[in-house]
């Protein structure tokens, strides 16, 4: 196993995903590629009582903050002897993520799974589920600590 791709969303689950990546990379002398998708961010439009939420491209400030977080993550892995690099995508589609993992010659994909309701999965779907169904290599899913609602 030469290349491990760790899909991170910079949520609380990111640490658990990276802990698994670190453990396996150390055991197999693998490189970890930290893959982050710069998705749209929710913004509340204040129009009174019924304020809708719309999705917008991240601001330059948000993009810079995310890049700094990813750099800190990479440096943390390197400090413990793990070769690591960062790849950021701007296309949040699962097809794009899977194409990138294939381009990177991933031998293993590690990602986190958030606990969402059945209705959420019906309306929005699940990245973890879609990656599991269509990945070209083995996938390790790290569960969150959230309780199922």
Determine, yes or no, domain membership for 139.
yes
What pLDDT shows up at residue 121? 39
In a domain, 65, yes or no: yes
State the burial class of residue 55 (Cβ atoms within 10 Å of its Cβ: 0-12, 13-18, 19+): exposed
Q: pTM to 2 decimals?
A: 0.81
d(CA 98, CA 109): 10
- Domain coverage including residue 55: 3-114+131-143
Say yes or no to pLDDT of 44 above 90: no
Compute the distance between CA of residue 52 and CA of residue 54 in angstroms, rounded to an integer: 6
pLDDT of residue 19: 96
Half-sphere exposure in the Cβ direction for 125 (13 Å, CA): 10
106 within some domain: yes
Minimum mean pLDDT range among 4-18, 33-47, 76-90: 33-47
Kindly state whether residue 148 falls inside one of the protein's structural domains: no
- List the beta bridge partners of residue 103: none
Q: Is 109 helix (H, G, I), strand (E, B) or coil?
A: strand
Assess whether pLDDT exceeds 60 at residue 33: yes
**Cα separation, 88 vs 73, whole angstroms:** 13
Q: How does residue 90 score in pLDDT terms, banded at 50, 70 and 90?
A: confident
Closest to 111 (Cα-Cα) out of 26, 2, 32, 43? 32
Whole-number pLDDT of residue 45: 67
Residue 122 domain-assigned (yes or no): no
* Residue 14, domain member (yes or no): yes
More confident residue, 39 or 77: 77
The CATH number covering residue 80 comes to 3.40.50.620
Q: How many structural domains compose the chain?
A: 1
Is the separation of the CB atoms in 73 and 139 below 8 Å? no
Residue 122: predicted pLDDT: 40
CA angle 146, 62, 84 (to 5 degrees): 70
């Amino acid at each position: 196993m030469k290349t491990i791709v760790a899909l991170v969303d910079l949520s609380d689950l990111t640490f658990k995903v990276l802990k698994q990546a670190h453990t396996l990379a150390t055991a197999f002398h693998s490189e970890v590629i930290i893959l982050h998708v710069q998705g749209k961010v929710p913004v509340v439009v204040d129009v009174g009582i019924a304020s809708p939420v719309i999705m917008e491209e991240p601001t330059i400030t948000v993009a810079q903050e995310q890049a700094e977080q990813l750099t800190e993550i990479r440096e943390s892995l390197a400090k413990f002897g793990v070769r690591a690099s960062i790849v950021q995508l701007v296309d949040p589609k699962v097809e794009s993520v899977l194409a990138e993992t294939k381009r990177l010659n991933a031998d293993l994909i590690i990602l986190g799974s958030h606990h969402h309701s059945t209705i959420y999965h019906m309306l929005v779907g699940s990245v973890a589920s879609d990656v599991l169904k269509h990945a070209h290599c083995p996938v390790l899913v790290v569960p969150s600590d959230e309780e199922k609602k």
